Homo-oligomer: A and B are copies of this chain.
Amino acid sequence: MLNYPNGRPYHINGDKQALKKQVKTKKTDYSNRGMTLESDLNLTNEQYLIAKKAVIHKKPIPIQVVNVSYPKRSAAKITEAYYQKASTTDYNGIYKGFYLDFEAKETKNKTSFPLKNFHEHQILHMRACMEQDGICFIIIRFSTLNRVFVLPFDKLDTWWKHQKEALGKKSIPLKSIIEEAHEIFYGLSPRLPYLDAIDKIIKSKKT
């Protein structure tokens, strides 16, 4: 059973009229007010799953459980736990036989994307996946401009390595992102058609 992030069920085999109505009510979100990149991606992944286009999921946040109480006649309640650092990226899955692995981040910055949004272990993880012939990338959103880009990992890695050099930049200028990334545009279904950008990455891999 799949639900929209607002909790309303998505009727995969339901009548199209009800579906249209649901989609229409989404239209108020079209300007993206209040919606985050994460919820847009979760919706997109549900839409891709239903359309049998891809199977991509966000991984749960790792939590270290220290104490659990077991109240009678109710579910186990975790009473002490702590957030742990993730050792991989947030999203992975499969598309047309390709393994996809990516991280999604937003910035309020208007002119560049700060590299501090990523962690060394995420970079190392994506490098390892690239070596296994996976398709790794980042989805970045300039929230103030409301522009979203898919940047292939090899481009990010070049910027990542450069930042340690004397003249290396600590952020990627928007101008470079426009050149090196694939911009994607909000729609209804899929909400954020990032697989279109992945098709381009796959195509460039083959040539």
Could you say which residues of chain B place their CB within 8 Å of the CB of A99? 93-94, 97-99
Could you say which residues of chain B place their CB within 8 Å of the CB of A59? 59-60
Tell me the nearest residue of chain B to A121, going by C-beta: B1
Min CB gap A12→B, angstroms: 12
Interface string of A28-66 (1 = CB under 8 A from B): 000000000000000000000100101101011111010
Could you say which residues of chain B place their CB within 8 Å of the CB of A133? 94, 96-97
**Considering the complex, which residues of chain A in the window 66-112 have a beta carbon less than 8 Å from any beta carbon of chain B?**
75-84, 86-88, 92-99, 101
CA distance A63 to B97 in the complex (A): 30
A83 and B76 contact, Cβ closer than 8 Å, known pairs A65-B63, A128-B49, A131-B52? yes
Could you say which residues of chain B place their CB within 8 Å of the CB of A184? none
One complex includes copies of this chain to the number of 2
> In the complex, which of the residues B82, B88, B134 contacts A78, with contact meaning CB atoms closer than 8 Å?
B82
A contact residues, range:
35 or more
Could you say which residues of chain B place their CB within 8 Å of the CB of A24? none
Residue A129 at the chain B interface, CB threshold 8 Å: yes
CB pair B87–A82 under 8 Å, yes or no, is no
Interface string of A127-140 (1 = CB under 8 A from B): 01101111000000
CB pair B97–A54 under 8 Å, yes or no, is no
CB pair B94–A83 under 8 Å, yes or no, is no
